[in-house]
Amino acid sequence: MATPAIPQRPIPNSIKFLFGGLAGMGATVFVQPLDLIKTRMQLSGGGRSSFSVGSEILRKEGVSGIYTGLSAGLLRQATYTTTRLGIYTWLFDLIKSPEGAPPGFGTKMGLGVVAGGVGAFVGTPAEVSLIRMTADGRLPLEQRRNYKNVADALLRIIREEGLFSLWRGTTPTIGRAMVVNAAQLSSYSQAREMLNVYIPDGIGLHFVASMISGLITTVASMPVDIIKTRIQNAEGSLSMKKVVVDIVKNEGVFSLWKGFLPYYARLGPHTILTFIFLEQMNAWYKRQ
């Protein structure tokens, strides 16, 4: 007589949030240098290649300089990614049909928008610190902020500019997160379902679905990311409209996609590693 299969218990919501944050932090360790190059290019008014920016960082700031802002990047993932992936997977499971059928693509995009907006608000203080720390090396010595780490950055911003300065650029940050998550989470889920007919479930499927998701997300989110970066790096108040007008007028429309290659080189691998780490942790938990 065959032994009846033991039904798997669903993963608790607390574990979903934990795994989401750990997956994002693990990916950040690998892609922080690319995030640094991307930020420097977005703040630069002239046309420069990612290679020249990377070479300049190594020459002027040393090998350790390519990991400038890592502490802020990790805190950002611990707050933003923990929240967005946790909320998305929780809502995704919540609205699945009783038979276990996944929601439609439009619903997935809606879940991504909600998860991204909430996650962005939670993660904005770390985001502001990250932008400030990664931008510092391009300034003259006398103008640098010289934050020691993310804790120092947060405390000094509060002391020197006020508590609410930690949420500078919240509107474009939330807007970017909504675009990123609507594109990234929905396209990954959809690509994973469609490709599973041809590719068995495993790292290979997760890799291909993540590559597709990363490319779609890069094209959709770059303009909002550049606007967000410039607002958060400024010490004074800047409106989204003024930033957009200045970029288009002084640098051209296509400058809204400035740094496309390092952005995709950062977002693509980060998307791949995040989802692979997340899938592997979920699989490990279910086995245990």
8 Å CB contact between 65 and 57: yes
176-190 pLDDT, tens digit each? 888 888 888 888 888
pLDDT recorded at residue 8: 60
Q: Which of 151, 110, 112 is nearest to 129 (CA)?
A: 151
Residue 33 Cα distances to 40, 53, 63, 70, 263, angstroms: 11, 11, 10, 9, 11
pLDDT recorded at residue 1: 42
Positions of E strands within 9-164: none
Query: What kind and span of H or E run contains 83?
Result: helix 82-94
* DSSP letter (8 states) at residue 81: I
8 Å CB contact between 191 and 208: yes
Question: Regarding predicted confidence, which is higher, 143 or 4?
Answer: 143
8 Å CB contact between 278 and 206: no
Q: What do you get for the CA distance between the two ends of the chain, in Å?
A: 26
189-214 pLDDT, tens digit each? 889 999 998 999 888 898 899 889 88
Rounded Cα distance between 235 and 165, Å, is 9
Q: Structural domain boundaries of the chain?
A: 13-287
CATH number 1.50.40.10 given to 13-287? yes
Q: Write down the pTM of the prediction.
A: 0.75
Residue 145 Cα distances to 126, 136, 236, 267, angstroms: 16, 7, 15, 27
Rounded Cα distance between 54 and 136, Å, is 15
| Confidence label for 155 from pLDDT (cuts 50, 70 and 90) | very high
pLDDT recorded at residue 125: 95
Number of helices (H) and strands (E) in the chain: give both, helices first: 10, 0
8 Å CB contact between 42 and 258: yes
**DSSP letter for each residue of 179-231:** HHHHHHHHHHHHHHHHHTTTS-TTHHHHHHHHHHHHHHHHHHHHHHHHHHHHH
pLDDT recorded at residue 3: 43
Place of tokens 């994973």: 192
Q: What's the mean pLDDT in 25-37?
A: 90
Rounded Cα distance between 66 and 21, Å, is 23
8 Å CB contact between 281 and 273: no
Which two tokens mark 136? Answer: 């510092």
pLDDT recorded at residue 189: 87
